[in-house]
Chains A and B, each alone.
Chain A
Amino acid sequence: MAAAPVAQADEVAAAKPESLTDLFWSFSLLALQGFGGVLAVVQRELVEKKRWLTLDEFIEDWAVAQIMPGPNVVNLSLMIGGRHFGIRGALAALAGMLTFPIIIVLLLTILFADVADEPAARGALRGLGAVAAGLIAATGLKMLPALRKNTMGRPACAIIAALTFAAIAVVRVPLLGVLLGLGLPAGIWAWYRLGRA
Protein backbone atom coordinates (compact mmCIF):
# COMPACT_ATOMS: atom_id res chain seq x y z
CA MET A 1 0.00 0.00 0.00
CA ALA A 2 1.20 3.54 -0.73
CA ALA A 3 2.67 5.69 2.01
CA ALA A 4 0.24 8.00 3.76
CA PRO A 5 0.48 11.43 2.18
CA VAL A 6 1.90 13.98 4.57
CA ALA A 7 1.39 17.74 4.33
CA GLN A 8 5.10 18.44 4.33
CA ALA A 9 5.45 20.91 1.48
CA ASP A 10 3.14 23.59 2.87
CA GLU A 11 4.90 26.70 4.07
CA VAL A 12 1.94 27.96 6.08
CA ALA A 13 -0.99 26.05 7.47
CA ALA A 14 -3.92 25.85 5.06
CA ALA A 15 -6.68 26.22 7.65
CA LYS A 16 -7.40 27.33 11.21
CA PRO A 17 -10.04 26.74 13.87
CA GLU A 18 -13.19 28.80 13.28
CA SER A 19 -14.33 29.41 16.85
CA LEU A 20 -13.93 28.40 20.47
CA THR A 21 -16.66 25.79 19.94
CA ASP A 22 -14.74 24.41 16.95
CA LEU A 23 -11.61 24.16 19.13
CA PHE A 24 -13.48 22.44 21.95
CA TRP A 25 -15.13 19.82 19.75
CA SER A 26 -12.05 19.25 17.59
CA PHE A 27 -9.92 18.55 20.65
CA SER A 28 -12.70 16.42 22.18
CA LEU A 29 -12.78 14.26 19.05
CA LEU A 30 -8.99 14.07 19.05
CA ALA A 31 -8.83 13.01 22.66
CA LEU A 32 -11.56 10.41 22.28
CA GLN A 33 -9.68 8.71 19.44
CA GLY A 34 -6.44 8.69 21.37
CA PHE A 35 -6.21 5.24 22.88
CA GLY A 36 -2.86 4.75 24.57
CA GLY A 37 -1.99 8.41 24.11
CA VAL A 38 -3.20 11.23 21.93
CA LEU A 39 -0.13 12.25 19.96
CA ALA A 40 -0.62 9.86 17.03
CA VAL A 41 -4.12 11.23 16.51
CA VAL A 42 -3.04 14.86 16.87
CA GLN A 43 -0.67 14.44 13.96
CA ARG A 44 -3.24 12.73 11.77
CA GLU A 45 -6.17 15.02 12.55
CA LEU A 46 -4.52 18.44 12.87
CA VAL A 47 -1.73 18.04 10.29
CA GLU A 48 -3.09 15.61 7.71
CA LYS A 49 -6.86 16.22 7.87
CA LYS A 50 -7.70 19.65 9.30
CA ARG A 51 -4.38 21.25 8.24
CA TRP A 52 -4.30 23.65 11.16
CA LEU A 53 -0.55 22.98 11.29
CA THR A 54 2.11 22.05 8.75
CA LEU A 55 4.33 19.10 9.59
CA ASP A 56 7.19 21.50 10.40
CA GLU A 57 5.00 23.59 12.71
CA PHE A 58 3.76 20.43 14.37
CA ILE A 59 7.30 19.24 15.08
CA GLU A 60 8.28 22.67 16.43
CA ASP A 61 5.23 22.84 18.67
CA TRP A 62 5.76 19.29 19.81
CA ALA A 63 9.37 20.11 20.72
CA VAL A 64 8.19 23.01 22.89
CA ALA A 65 5.36 20.93 24.40
CA GLN A 66 7.87 18.22 25.20
CA ILE A 67 10.48 20.44 26.80
CA MET A 68 8.03 22.39 28.96
CA PRO A 69 6.84 20.72 32.16
CA GLY A 70 3.38 19.16 32.15
CA PRO A 71 1.60 16.52 30.10
CA ASN A 72 2.76 16.89 26.49
CA VAL A 73 -0.59 16.72 24.72
CA VAL A 74 -2.11 19.07 27.31
CA ASN A 75 0.70 21.54 26.58
CA LEU A 76 0.11 21.14 22.85
CA SER A 77 -3.61 21.88 23.18
CA LEU A 78 -2.86 24.99 25.27
CA MET A 79 -0.39 26.22 22.65
CA ILE A 80 -2.60 25.63 19.61
CA GLY A 81 -5.72 27.01 21.28
CA GLY A 82 -3.79 30.00 22.61
CA ARG A 83 -2.28 30.86 19.23
CA HIS A 84 -5.69 31.35 17.62
CA PHE A 85 -7.89 32.70 20.45
CA GLY A 86 -5.60 33.67 23.33
CA ILE A 87 -6.35 32.47 26.84
CA ARG A 88 -9.94 31.58 25.97
CA GLY A 89 -8.73 29.41 23.09
CA ALA A 90 -6.22 27.68 25.34
CA LEU A 91 -8.93 26.91 27.88
CA ALA A 92 -11.39 25.71 25.23
CA ALA A 93 -8.81 23.33 23.75
CA LEU A 94 -7.80 22.14 27.23
CA ALA A 95 -11.43 21.54 28.20
CA GLY A 96 -11.93 19.54 24.99
CA MET A 97 -8.83 17.48 25.70
CA LEU A 98 -9.93 16.59 29.24
CA THR A 99 -13.73 16.64 29.68
CA PHE A 100 -14.93 13.52 27.86
CA PRO A 101 -11.81 11.43 28.51
CA ILE A 102 -12.22 12.06 32.25
CA ILE A 103 -15.85 10.92 32.14
CA ILE A 104 -14.90 7.78 30.19
CA VAL A 105 -11.93 6.87 32.34
CA LEU A 106 -14.07 7.22 35.47
CA LEU A 107 -16.77 4.97 33.99
CA LEU A 108 -14.08 2.45 33.03
CA THR A 109 -12.65 2.54 36.55
CA ILE A 110 -16.05 1.88 38.07
CA LEU A 111 -16.76 -0.97 35.61
CA PHE A 112 -13.27 -2.43 35.70
CA ALA A 113 -13.44 -2.83 39.49
CA ASP A 114 -15.77 -5.80 38.86
CA VAL A 115 -13.64 -7.65 36.30
CA ALA A 116 -10.13 -6.61 37.37
CA ASP A 117 -9.17 -10.19 38.29
CA GLU A 118 -10.33 -11.83 35.03
CA PRO A 119 -7.35 -13.05 32.95
CA ALA A 120 -9.17 -11.98 29.76
CA ALA A 121 -9.50 -8.39 31.00
CA ARG A 122 -5.81 -8.22 31.91
CA GLY A 123 -4.90 -9.84 28.59
CA ALA A 124 -6.92 -7.24 26.69
CA LEU A 125 -5.13 -4.42 28.53
CA ARG A 126 -1.83 -6.00 27.51
CA GLY A 127 -2.87 -6.33 23.85
CA LEU A 128 -3.99 -2.69 23.85
CA GLY A 129 -0.62 -1.70 25.27
CA ALA A 130 1.25 -3.53 22.51
CA VAL A 131 -0.76 -1.68 19.84
CA ALA A 132 -0.37 1.66 21.65
CA ALA A 133 3.41 1.27 21.63
CA GLY A 134 3.31 0.69 17.87
CA LEU A 135 1.19 3.83 17.40
CA ILE A 136 3.73 5.96 19.23
CA ALA A 137 6.67 4.59 17.25
CA ALA A 138 4.85 5.17 13.96
CA THR A 139 4.08 8.77 14.96
CA GLY A 140 7.82 9.39 15.27
CA LEU A 141 8.61 7.69 11.95
CA LYS A 142 5.97 9.78 10.15
CA MET A 143 7.90 12.91 11.14
CA LEU A 144 11.07 11.78 9.34
CA PRO A 145 10.31 13.71 6.10
CA ALA A 146 10.56 16.97 8.03
CA LEU A 147 14.27 16.32 8.65
CA ARG A 148 15.07 16.53 4.93
CA LYS A 149 15.04 20.33 4.98
CA ASN A 150 16.72 20.63 8.38
CA THR A 151 19.58 23.14 8.20
CA MET A 152 21.76 20.93 10.39
CA GLY A 153 22.08 18.45 7.52
CA ARG A 154 21.05 14.81 7.30
CA PRO A 155 24.17 13.18 8.82
CA ALA A 156 23.98 15.43 11.88
CA CYS A 157 20.25 14.69 12.27
CA ALA A 158 20.88 10.94 12.00
CA ILE A 159 23.65 11.04 14.62
CA ILE A 160 21.57 13.13 17.04
CA ALA A 161 18.54 10.87 16.63
CA ALA A 162 20.59 7.70 17.13
CA LEU A 163 22.29 9.08 20.24
CA THR A 164 18.93 10.21 21.67
CA PHE A 165 17.40 6.77 21.18
CA ALA A 166 20.41 5.02 22.71
CA ALA A 167 20.49 7.39 25.70
CA ILE A 168 16.78 6.99 26.50
CA ALA A 169 16.02 3.39 25.53
CA VAL A 170 19.32 1.63 26.21
CA VAL A 171 21.31 3.64 28.78
CA ARG A 172 18.12 5.09 30.39
CA VAL A 173 19.51 8.55 31.00
CA PRO A 174 16.91 10.88 32.61
CA LEU A 175 15.16 13.04 30.03
CA LEU A 176 16.51 16.31 31.39
CA GLY A 177 20.07 15.00 30.94
CA VAL A 178 19.35 14.02 27.33
CA LEU A 179 17.75 17.35 26.49
CA LEU A 180 20.71 19.27 27.90
CA GLY A 181 23.48 16.88 26.84
CA LEU A 182 22.32 16.45 23.24
CA GLY A 183 20.04 19.46 22.75
CA LEU A 184 22.73 21.97 23.66
CA PRO A 185 25.43 20.79 21.19
CA ALA A 186 22.74 20.28 18.53
CA GLY A 187 21.45 23.81 19.17
CA ILE A 188 24.96 25.28 18.86
CA TRP A 189 25.49 23.39 15.59
CA ALA A 190 22.12 24.61 14.26
CA TRP A 191 23.00 28.18 15.30
CA TYR A 192 26.31 27.92 13.42
CA ARG A 193 24.68 26.50 10.28
CA LEU A 194 21.95 29.17 10.35
CA GLY A 195 24.66 31.83 10.42
CA ARG A 196 26.34 30.40 7.32
CA ALA A 197 23.11 29.78 5.39
Chain B
Amino acid sequence: MNLLMTGSDWLALFGHFLSLSLLAVGGAIALAPDMHRYLVDERQWLSDPEFSSSIALAQAAPGPNALFIALLGWNVGLNTGGYGAALLGMVLAMTGVLLPSAVLTYSASRWAHRNRAHRAVRAFKLAMAPIVIALLVATAWLLASALFGKAYAGVSWLLTLACTLIVWRTRIHMLWLLGAGALLGAFGWV
Protein backbone atom coordinates (compact mmCIF):
# COMPACT_ATOMS: atom_id res chain seq x y z
CA MET B 1 0.00 0.00 0.00
CA ASN B 2 1.31 3.45 -0.83
CA LEU B 3 -0.09 6.26 1.18
CA LEU B 4 0.39 9.98 1.62
CA MET B 5 -0.12 11.26 5.16
CA THR B 6 -0.23 15.02 5.73
CA GLY B 7 0.44 16.67 9.06
CA SER B 8 -3.27 17.02 9.66
CA ASP B 9 -3.76 13.30 8.93
CA TRP B 10 -1.24 12.46 11.65
CA LEU B 11 -3.01 14.88 13.96
CA ALA B 12 -6.34 13.22 13.16
CA LEU B 13 -4.88 9.81 14.00
CA PHE B 14 -3.52 11.11 17.30
CA GLY B 15 -6.80 12.84 18.14
CA HIS B 16 -8.89 9.78 17.33
CA PHE B 17 -6.78 7.56 19.57
CA LEU B 18 -6.93 10.19 22.35
CA SER B 19 -10.72 10.16 22.10
CA LEU B 20 -10.84 6.33 22.30
CA SER B 21 -8.58 6.08 25.35
CA LEU B 22 -11.21 6.61 28.04
CA LEU B 23 -13.55 4.11 26.37
CA ALA B 24 -11.08 1.23 26.86
CA VAL B 25 -12.91 -0.28 29.82
CA GLY B 26 -11.99 -3.96 30.03
CA GLY B 27 -8.66 -3.53 28.32
CA ALA B 28 -7.29 -2.23 25.07
CA ILE B 29 -8.65 -5.12 23.03
CA ALA B 30 -12.13 -3.64 23.56
CA LEU B 31 -11.06 -0.83 21.20
CA ALA B 32 -10.15 -3.13 18.31
CA PRO B 33 -13.56 -2.99 16.56
CA ASP B 34 -13.60 0.81 16.49
CA MET B 35 -9.96 1.05 15.41
CA HIS B 36 -10.74 -1.32 12.56
CA ARG B 37 -13.68 0.84 11.51
CA TYR B 38 -11.53 4.00 11.56
CA LEU B 39 -8.19 2.80 10.14
CA VAL B 40 -9.36 0.21 7.61
CA ASP B 41 -12.88 1.20 6.53
CA GLU B 42 -13.04 4.97 6.95
CA ARG B 43 -9.48 6.22 6.33
CA GLN B 44 -8.10 3.20 4.43
CA TRP B 45 -4.72 3.68 6.05
CA LEU B 46 -4.41 -0.10 6.68
CA SER B 47 -5.50 -3.25 4.87
CA ASP B 48 -7.51 -6.00 6.56
CA PRO B 49 -4.61 -8.50 6.75
CA GLU B 50 -2.33 -5.78 8.17
CA PHE B 51 -4.91 -5.13 10.87
CA SER B 52 -5.45 -8.77 11.90
CA SER B 53 -1.76 -9.71 11.82
CA SER B 54 -1.02 -6.75 14.13
CA ILE B 55 -3.37 -8.28 16.72
CA ALA B 56 -2.09 -11.85 16.30
CA LEU B 57 1.58 -10.85 16.60
CA ALA B 58 0.99 -8.71 19.67
CA GLN B 59 -0.78 -11.68 21.29
CA ALA B 60 2.11 -14.01 20.49
CA ALA B 61 4.91 -11.65 21.56
CA PRO B 62 5.83 -11.09 25.21
CA GLY B 63 4.38 -8.00 26.86
CA PRO B 64 1.00 -6.32 27.14
CA ASN B 65 -1.50 -7.30 24.44
CA ALA B 66 -2.18 -3.57 24.04
CA LEU B 67 0.97 -3.44 21.93
CA PHE B 68 -1.22 -4.30 18.94
CA ILE B 69 -2.01 -0.57 18.98
CA ALA B 70 1.71 0.22 18.59
CA LEU B 71 1.79 -2.14 15.62
CA LEU B 72 -1.24 -0.47 14.04
CA GLY B 73 0.51 2.91 14.23
CA TRP B 74 3.74 1.34 12.97
CA ASN B 75 1.99 -0.20 9.95
CA VAL B 76 0.19 3.05 9.08
CA GLY B 77 3.57 4.80 9.08
CA LEU B 78 5.19 2.01 7.07
CA ASN B 79 2.51 2.42 4.41
CA THR B 80 3.49 6.07 3.95
CA GLY B 81 7.25 5.65 3.88
CA GLY B 82 10.18 4.18 5.76
CA TYR B 83 10.93 3.19 9.32
CA GLY B 84 11.05 6.84 10.43
CA ALA B 85 7.40 7.37 9.53
CA ALA B 86 6.60 4.00 11.09
CA LEU B 87 8.18 5.11 14.38
CA LEU B 88 6.21 8.34 14.29
CA GLY B 89 2.98 6.40 13.75
CA MET B 90 3.78 4.08 16.62
CA VAL B 91 4.58 6.87 19.07
CA LEU B 92 1.43 8.84 18.14
CA ALA B 93 -0.82 5.79 18.43
CA MET B 94 0.55 4.62 21.78
CA THR B 95 0.73 8.10 23.34
CA GLY B 96 -2.78 8.91 22.18
CA VAL B 97 -4.33 5.74 23.52
CA LEU B 98 -2.43 5.74 26.83
CA LEU B 99 -2.26 9.38 27.93
CA PRO B 100 -5.86 10.07 29.08
CA SER B 101 -6.42 6.65 30.65
CA ALA B 102 -3.04 6.71 32.42
CA VAL B 103 -3.70 10.12 34.00
CA LEU B 104 -7.17 9.05 35.14
CA THR B 105 -6.03 5.67 36.52
CA TYR B 106 -3.09 7.20 38.34
CA SER B 107 -5.21 9.85 40.08
CA ALA B 108 -8.11 7.49 40.85
CA SER B 109 -5.89 4.79 42.32
CA ARG B 110 -4.08 7.33 44.51
CA TRP B 111 -7.45 8.49 45.80
CA ALA B 112 -8.64 4.93 46.44
CA HIS B 113 -5.40 4.08 48.25
CA ARG B 114 -5.63 7.14 50.51
CA ASN B 115 -9.25 6.28 51.33
CA ARG B 116 -8.78 2.54 51.60
CA ALA B 117 -10.25 2.40 55.13
CA HIS B 118 -13.46 4.04 53.95
CA ARG B 119 -16.44 1.67 54.04
CA ALA B 120 -17.45 2.34 50.43
CA VAL B 121 -13.92 1.71 49.12
CA ARG B 122 -13.72 -1.54 51.10
CA ALA B 123 -17.16 -2.63 49.89
CA PHE B 124 -16.14 -1.92 46.29
CA LYS B 125 -13.01 -4.02 46.57
CA LEU B 126 -14.76 -6.93 48.29
CA ALA B 127 -17.53 -6.90 45.71
CA MET B 128 -15.08 -6.84 42.82
CA ALA B 129 -13.04 -9.88 43.94
CA PRO B 130 -15.36 -12.67 42.70
CA ILE B 131 -16.16 -10.64 39.57
CA VAL B 132 -12.48 -10.21 38.71
CA ILE B 133 -11.80 -13.93 39.12
CA ALA B 134 -14.75 -14.91 36.94
CA LEU B 135 -13.76 -12.30 34.34
CA LEU B 136 -10.36 -13.92 33.91
CA VAL B 137 -11.79 -17.38 33.39
CA ALA B 138 -14.37 -15.93 30.98
CA THR B 139 -11.65 -14.08 29.04
CA ALA B 140 -9.71 -17.33 28.63
CA TRP B 141 -12.92 -19.01 27.46
CA LEU B 142 -13.60 -16.28 24.87
CA LEU B 143 -10.00 -16.22 23.60
CA ALA B 144 -10.01 -19.97 23.14
CA SER B 145 -13.40 -20.02 21.37
CA ALA B 146 -12.34 -17.24 18.99
CA LEU B 147 -9.03 -18.96 18.30
CA PHE B 148 -10.16 -22.54 17.77
CA GLY B 149 -13.18 -22.09 15.53
CA LYS B 150 -14.03 -25.45 14.00
CA ALA B 151 -10.99 -27.51 12.98
CA TYR B 152 -9.22 -29.78 15.53
CA ALA B 153 -11.10 -27.92 18.23
CA GLY B 154 -11.23 -30.86 20.63
CA VAL B 155 -7.45 -31.20 20.86
CA SER B 156 -6.98 -27.44 21.19
CA TRP B 157 -9.43 -27.24 24.10
CA LEU B 158 -7.62 -30.17 25.69
CA LEU B 159 -4.32 -28.27 25.41
CA THR B 160 -5.87 -25.17 26.99
CA LEU B 161 -7.43 -27.23 29.78
CA ALA B 162 -4.14 -29.06 30.43
CA CYS B 163 -2.26 -25.74 30.61
CA THR B 164 -4.86 -24.34 33.00
CA LEU B 165 -4.41 -27.28 35.38
CA ILE B 166 -0.61 -27.33 35.10
CA VAL B 167 -0.22 -23.60 35.79
CA TRP B 168 -2.80 -23.67 38.57
CA ARG B 169 -1.47 -26.69 40.47
CA THR B 170 2.29 -26.80 39.69
CA ARG B 171 5.22 -24.42 39.34
CA ILE B 172 6.41 -25.52 35.90
CA HIS B 173 7.77 -22.49 34.03
CA MET B 174 5.36 -21.03 31.49
CA LEU B 175 8.03 -20.88 28.78
CA TRP B 176 8.05 -24.70 28.59
CA LEU B 177 4.31 -24.71 28.03
CA LEU B 178 4.49 -21.94 25.43
CA GLY B 179 7.29 -23.76 23.60
CA ALA B 180 5.30 -26.99 23.63
CA GLY B 181 2.21 -25.15 22.37
CA ALA B 182 4.13 -23.51 19.52
CA LEU B 183 5.67 -26.87 18.50
CA LEU B 184 2.35 -28.72 18.61
CA GLY B 185 0.84 -25.93 16.52
CA ALA B 186 3.69 -25.86 14.01
CA PHE B 187 3.26 -29.61 13.41
CA GLY B 188 -0.45 -29.04 12.92
CA TRP B 189 -1.58 -31.15 15.89
CA VAL B 190 -3.71 -28.55 17.65
Residue ranges of A at the interface with B (Cβ–Cβ < 8 Å):
1, 3-4, 31-41, 59-75, 78-79, 82-83, 87, 90, 94, 97-98, 100-102, 104-106, 108-109, 112, 116, 119-121, 123-144, 146-147, 150-152, 156-158, 160-165, 168-169, 175-176, 178-179, 182-183, 186-191, 194-195
Contact = CB atoms under 8 A, between A and B. Distances in A.
A16 to B, nearest CB: 14
Interface of B: 21-28, 30, 53-54, 56-67, 70-71, 74-75, 90, 94, 98, 100-102, 104-106, 108-110, 112-113, 119-120, 122-144, 147-148, 156, 159-171, 174-175, 177-178, 180-188, 190
B143 A164 contact: no
B105 A183 contact: no
A164 B135 contact: yes
A179 B156 CA distance: 30
B67 A102 contact: yes
A3 B125 CA distance: 26
B61 A104 contact: yes
Given A97-B63, A151-B126, A123 B188 contact: yes
28 contacts: A35-B62, A59-B129, A61-B109, A64-B108, A64-B112, A68-B109, A74-B102, A82-B110, A98-B64, A123-B190, A124-B185, A127-B190, A128-B181, A129-B59, A131-B163, A133-B147, A134-B163, A136-B143, A141-B133, A160-B130, A160-B131, A161-B134, A163-B134, A175-B25, A186-B131, A190-B126, A191-B119, A191-B123
B98 to A, nearest CB: 7
A38 B58 CA distance: 12
A62 to B, nearest CB: 6
B143 A132 contact: yes
B127 A101 contact: no
Nearest to B112: A64
B27 A82 contact: no
A157 B130 contact: yes
Given A69-B23, A101-B63, A157 B129 contact: yes
Contacts of B56: 125
Contacts of B185: 123-128, 130
A71 B65 contact: yes
Given A66-B27, A102-B70, 16 more contacts: A35-B61, A74-B66, A87-B106, A97-B63, A104-B62, A104-B63, A105-B57, A124-B185, A129-B147, A133-B147, A133-B160, A136-B136, A137-B160, A152-B130, A162-B134, A164-B135
A45 B128 CA distance: 23
A128 B156 CA distance: 10
Given A128-B185, A130-B147, A189-B127, A160 B71 contact: no
Contact of A106 (B74, B143, B160, B183): B74
B120 A191 contact: yes
A98 B71 CA distance: 13
B127 A190 contact: yes
Contacts of B101: 68-71, 75
A140 B137 CA distance: 6
Contacts of B54: 109
A195 B118 CA distance: 12
Contacts of B105: 64-65, 68-70, 75, 78-79
B24 A69 contact: yes
A127 B136 contact: no
Contact of B159 (A83, A101, A127): A127
Contacts of B138: 164-165, 168-169
